[in-house]
Amino acid sequence: MTSAPLPSLDEIRASARVVTLPLATRFRGIEVREAMLIEGPQGWTEFSPFVEYPDAEASAWLAAALDFGWNPSPPPRRDRIRVNATVPAVDAARVPEILDRYDGCRTAKVKVADPGQSLADDIARVRAVRETLGPEGRIRIDANGAWNLDEAEHAIHALTEFDLEYVEQPCPSLDELVELRRRVRYLGIPVAADESVRRADDPLAVARAGAADLIVIKAQPLGGIRRALQIVAEAGLPAVVSSALDTSVGLSMGAALAASLPSLDYDCGLGSGSLLSADVVVPPLRAEHGGIPVTRVDVDPAALDEWSASPERTGWWMSRLERCHGVLAQRG
């Protein structure tokens, strides 16, 4: 399938809108999510790298947005994607309230190793998730690379009693992941790589090094659906599709990616719309009966107006768009 040429900056800017959406719960240290929405020939698409990301990294997110907005998605193999609940680093007492937002989800990803918290906090949170989901529920934990090797080994042992599905990015480096897999192999808990794929110069290095049992892929950071599919094919590892606190538009891109994978053995991290208390789509793309549909979504004009970013923030994003477009144009 031939991709459309890079659209001009004027063509992109003509429909670009920037929104600032409040979060229902503080997540990744932020309380609002900024995103740029763009209408392409194929429909609405999203450009929303986190504000601290440099242009070289953010340009991959723009490539993904333009791919989704200007090119047809690959043929889907499924029309519905099972999704997991995401539990931020909240107090254990809030876990039932958080999980209640995810209708019918059988799997929960629990954030651990948050700055300022202890392993005891993590254990209490995971225990609360297990008690809420029951014995049949699936629990995966995500440390975002915050543990060193010994901390990760100790934490995994401490959390083993909760029957973990896998542990995501427990350590930052490939060498640490390789050694950790060796140390905990007897426990039967797989290690997943996220940052080691999406923020790496070589996303396939994790597979070559034997540093993970599965990989977490996200459409925007990897440069789009086609690039993500290529990485999965070359890595030869099971994949979990996830999101990056996207609006419903970005989640629809992730669902299109998940729908096109040859196999999909894990529930996907595409239920994160429940972390937002407002969205640009009515109704928002949130978990119902444990899943979301594979569909292109239409942005609600009233929501765009209601949650429109300030002129200052809109100008900041327009400047970022111009810079990242320049990066893509130089790459050809």
Annotated catalytic residues are 111, 218
- Cα 86 vs. chain centroid, distance in angstroms? 10
SS3 label, residue 97? helix
Please report, as a single letter, which amino acid is at residue 43. G
In whole angstroms, what is the distance from residue 182 CA to residue 211 CA?
Answer: 9
Residues of the binding site: 142, 168, 194
Please report, as a single letter, which amino acid is at residue 19. V
Nearest to 173 by CA among 209, 218, 213: 209
Q: Are 159 and 126 in contact (CB under 8 A)?
A: yes
Bridge partner residues of 312 (DSSP): none
Q: Are 222 and 195 in contact (CB under 8 A)?
A: no
Residues 6+ apart with CB under 8 A from 72: 1, 42
In whole angstroms, what is the distance from residue 169 CA to residue 193 CA?
Answer: 5
145-151: list long-range contacts, CB under 8 Å, 24+ apart. Answer: 145/169, 145/170, 145/171, 145/172, 145/195, 145/196, 146/113, 146/114, 146/115, 147/113, 147/171, 148/176, 149/176, 149/179, 149/180, 151/113
Residues of the binding site for Mg(2+): 142, 168, 194
Q: Are 264 and 78 in contact (CB under 8 A)?
A: yes
Name the token pair of 75: 């043929």
Nearest to 45 by CA among 15, 25, 21, 75: 15
